[in-house]
Chain A
Amino acid sequence: MKISKKILIIEDEKTLARALELKLIHSGFEVKKVFNGEDGIALLQKESFSLILLDLIMPKMDGFTVLAVLKGKKIKTPVMVLTNLSQDNDVKRTKEFGVKEFVIKSNTPIATIVERVIKLLK
């Protein structure tokens, strides 16, 4: 039996974090979730994950800062940004941190997100 991949959800909107968690667990992933960037960084320093699902607008530490801190700490866990920001410049800023996937939550069915996660971790 293959070892299940571990995913970290950093998302302040609890209902959305919960929906993602349910869906991903259902698809066979191990999932941990935190509600702000600070907790995310703290957890990432203790544990390693296969993928981070990262929101951008969050209290305490936003997603952009998380990306900067990860870069500074040389934590190279792949990141999928899940956000409701969609301005070109927001996309560009995250891409500059090497983010490959930029998903706009309101425009994307949750099933599609799960598909993309599976594809990324294949």
Chain B
Amino acid sequence: MKFHKKIISASDNIALKLAILAKEKESARRKLVVTAKQLAVTAKEKESIRRKLAVTAKQLAVTAEEKESTRRKLVVTAQELKKSYGTLEKKVLRRTKDLEQIKSKNEAILTSIGDGLVVVDKEGKISYINKSFEEMLGWKTQEIVGKSMVEVVPREDLNGIEVSFKERILTQVLAGQKFVADLTNPFYYIRKDKSRFPASSIVAPVVLNKKIVGAVEVFRDITKEKEIDKAKTEFVSLASHQLRTPLSTVNWYSEMLLTGDVGEVTSEQKKYLEEIYNGNQRMVDLVNTLLDVSRIEMGTFMVEPKPTDIVKLARSVIDEQKLQIDEKKIKLSPSFEDNIPLVRADPKLLRMVIQNLLSNAVKYTPEIGKVGISISLDNEKNVILKLSDTGYGIPKNQQDKIFTKLFRADNVIGKDTEGTGLGLYIAKSIVEQAGGKLWFESIENKGTTFYATLPLGEVKKKRGAKAFSSR
């Protein structure tokens, strides 16, 4: 039994071992199957990689081709660039030449400007002067560039007093206080050798990006203009003398005949002589008016303003024209406000204004008409002179021309009225010179009203042109 048992147990062991082996074999087989499967997968992957590699190889081949093409293209581009460069270089050269030409042309233009020219930087230091500057002021470019214009070239006013640094227009322009200096303010420039000449100038800022970076001054020697001015004044003197001398002869001799200095004249003869005398008188008036016009235009009138009683002046003008007023049976109604202050005006000129306005009102109003003259104060303390009439009026379509020199309206030319077309021109010039205004309202065949305002403020004293020439 025991043996049996032993055999059983031995065979059992073998069976067990066999079973284990079988199991191991099975496991190994399974593993092999797995490995085989894995191998198969790897083979597939390999195939896929191979294929990919093949694709990459193809792609590489394509890239190589592209590279070659690019290289070729680059070669062409390089050639083109070289060509363009050559052209460009030529163009630049040509352009540079052009620019140089333009520059030298511009420089030549600046240099040749007949007026003195100076360019300064924002500190007022000279950066450029032209030839006229050199000639007029006696300074050479190399001596003066970089120096302060205001310091090197002094200015004197008309009284010979040096203009201070602060008052120099150049200083003011650079400081942005003033934008263009006017030409109406002549002065003297002092040359290097300390001599001087009369000049007028324009100074303007050089503005870059809204900032003042310097200034340009252009100036002119006005010696010639002053000489012309003097010549004009002398011409008027001479003309007035030449025209008035024969008029004086006719005046005096007809007067002497009329007063019977060489024997009695008949009443018929007297009438004729009066015609001669009156005709001549008109000519005298015309010459006087023409002289006034030329004096106003040339500024040879010496305006000497002083406190003037305008009401008194008006009354005396009325007295002066009483004869004409009465002759036409015109009803004159003066109306002068009380307490009109003294006006600061030149009485001689103010008188001319009133004379012109009153004589016009009388002249252009038919017989038995009405003329009003009034003087009052407005709210702004201006003196207002008002002259109204019930006369012919000024045609609407000619109202804008009525202050034009020598203009006479159609509706009065036809009537037998004397007139030169100068009175209103003179009156307006005088009133405006005094800082006032002159205007009118008019309806044809109803009448006209002229208004003149005169400020009570200061009137600038103005010197006549002859005095001007002695400066």
| Residues of chain A whose beta carbon lies under 8 Å from any beta carbon of chain B | 13, 15-16, 19, 22-23, 26, 57, 83-90, 92, 104-107, 109-111
Contact = CB atoms under 8 A, between A and B. Distances in A.
Contacts of B238: 57
Interface string B272-306: 00000000000010011001000100001110000
Nearest to B248: A105
B248 A87 contact: no
18 contacts: A13-B245, A19-B256, A23-B256, A23-B261, A57-B241, A84-B241, A84-B244, A84-B245, A87-B300, A88-B301, A92-B302, A104-B244, A105-B244, A105-B252, A106-B244, A106-B247, A106-B248, A106-B287
Contacts of B252: 16, 19, 105, 109-110
A22 B466 contact: no
B243 to A, nearest CB: 8
Contact of A89 (B284, B287, B466): B466
B237 A87 contact: yes
B255 interface: yes
Contacts of B256: 19, 22-23, 110
B240 to A, nearest CB: 6
B251 A88 contact: no
Chain A contact residues, majority secondary structure: helix
B233 interface: yes
B324 to A, nearest CB: 18
A13 B242 CA distance: 11
A84 B300 contact: no
Report, nearest first, the 10 A-B pairs whose CB atoms are least far apart.
A89-B466, A84-B244, A106-B244, A105-B248, A88-B302, A110-B252, A106-B247, A106-B248, A19-B252, A84-B241
Contact of A86 (B291, B464, B467): B291
A15 B251 CA distance: 12
A90 to B, nearest CB: 7
A82 B249 CA distance: 13
A84 B236 CA distance: 11
Interface string B374-402: 00000000000000000000000000000
B89 to A, nearest CB: 72
Given A84-B241, A86-B291, A104-B244, A109 B261 contact: no
A85 B241 contact: yes
At the interface, is chain B mostly helix, strand, loop or mixed? helix
A88 B300 contact: yes
Contacts of B165: none
B248 A16 contact: yes
B287 A90 contact: no
B260 to A, nearest CB: 11
A89 B245 contact: no
Contacts of B466: 87-89
B241 A26 contact: no
Interface centre among B236, B243, B249, B295 (most CB of A within 10 A): B249
B185 interface: no
Contacts of A110: 251-252, 255-256
B49 to A, nearest CB: 120
A46 B261 CA distance: 32
B226 to A, nearest CB: 15
A15 B259 CA distance: 18
